[in-house]
Structure 1
Amino acid sequence: MVREFLKHWSPRVETPDTLRQAGAIPYAIVEGRLAILLVTSRRSGKWIFPKGAVESGMTAWESAALEAIEEAGVSGEIDPNAVGSYRASIGNDGVTLVDVDLFPLKVTQQHDSWLEQNERMRHWVTLSEAHRLLADRSMARLANRLHAHLGMAVSQ
């Protein structure tokens, strides 16, 4: 209960850069509608976006694109502007909270094999399905933000 309260207490955690993480929202526009790719987490099996630590010598968005390749087996055009961030717990105890910056990734290639294919599932969803499946309401709000950001492209 306390952890849930703390997750939503502040819109941003002042996470040291060494602990800040980056993630991707892999997406495609299919017949004028937004499709989003989700993956399962290794620890709990909940639906999330690919994410991880910012790699040394890489920008946050480059690290996000790398996570999408490793965890979801997709690559494409990464936007260097984050749609926002959400708070996640890391580590086995789940006590340490970090901010995860999410970057839009327009998927141009879906690979048949990828690094974590035996550890995760991937699933393309509509925005409404994302709301039902995402483990964290903050991630669903960021999916909405991506939809709004892409508004013109999606409505055409």
Structure 2
Amino acid sequence: MASKQHHKKKRIAVVPIVMSKTRLKVYLITSRAERKWIIPTGKLEKKLNNRQVAALEAFEEAGILGKLDKHFREQVLLQSPSGKHKRKTTVFLLYVKRILKCWPEIHDRKRKLVSLKKYLKSVSNRKLKRKLAKNICA
């Protein structure tokens, strides 16, 4: 029973956006177990609010520092990296200001930049895809 409850826990995710010359790009990281390309995602923290968790996950998992969009916050069901569960996830946008050479999970994950267009094609949740396209491309 405990394992069924585990996947139902809410998650916080962040879409790290960076302007590369004249194009918008998104930083992706690899998941630990499946090595799939994902956005930084973590569990709720008792002493931190959701926005603080989003910024912390970007730092810990991807070595990225930036500014969270004040207005973008979307609650969606997202597939876990294993594909076994859908989790309630609150997604934030982070505008990248600094990319660190060393970060806490550097040995556990890889990171890469992909075009916004390519990232949006990979987003399976239609609600999230529409909101990202509307807010980032506007």
Counterpart of 2:131?
Answer: 145
Kindly tell me the number of residue pairs found equivalent between the two proteins. Answer: 131
Counterpart check, 1:130 vs 2:119: yes
Counterpart of 1:79?
Answer: 69
Deviation, 1:78, is 1.1
Distance across 2 between alignment mates of 1:31 and 1:148? 21
With normalisation by structure 1, the TM-score equals 0.71
Contact 1:83/1:104 (<8 A) preserved:
no
Compared with structure 1, are the counterparts of its residues 147 and 29 closer, same or farther at alpha carbon in structure 2 (3 Å cutoff)? farther
Counterpart of 2:4?
Answer: none
Counterpart check, 1:112 vs 2:98: no
What does the per-residue CA deviation read over 1:43-80, in whole Å, with 9 as the maximum and x for residues that have no partner? Answer: 10111100010111211111011000000000110125
Distance across 2 between alignment mates of 1:65 and 1:143? 21
Deviation, 1:105, is 0.3
Counterpart of 2:54?
Answer: 64
Q: AA paired with 2:101?
A: D
Counterpart check, 1:21 vs 2:11: yes
Deviation, 1:143, is 5.1
Compared with structure 1, are the counterparts of its residues 38 and 127 closer, same or farther at alpha carbon in structure 2 (3 Å cutoff)? same
Deviation, 1:36, is 0.3
Of the structure 1 ranges 140-149 and 33-42, higher mean CA displacement relative to structure 2 is found in 140-149
Q: AA paired with 1:121?
A: K
Secondary structure of the corresponding residue to residue 66 of structure 1:
helix
Question: What is the root-mean-square deviation of aligned Cα atoms in Å?
Answer: 2.7
What does the per-residue CA deviation read over 1:20-45, in whole Å, with 9 as the maximum and x for residues that have no partner? Answer: 11011001123332110000100101
Compared with structure 1, are the counterparts of its residues 141 and 123 closer, same or farther at alpha carbon in structure 2 (3 Å cutoff)? farther
Counterpart check, 1:52 vs 2:37: no
Counterpart of 2:25?
Answer: 35
Counterpart of 1:5?
Answer: none
Distance across 1 between alignment mates of 2:129 and 2:27? 11
Q: AA paired with 2:14?
A: A
Contact 1:21/1:54 (<8 A) preserved:
yes
Gaps of 5+ in 2: 1-6
Q: AA paired with 1:148?
A: K
Aligned residues with identical type, % of pairs: 28
Compared with structure 1, are the counterparts of its residues 113 and 29 closer, same or farther at alpha carbon in structure 2 (3 Å cutoff)? same
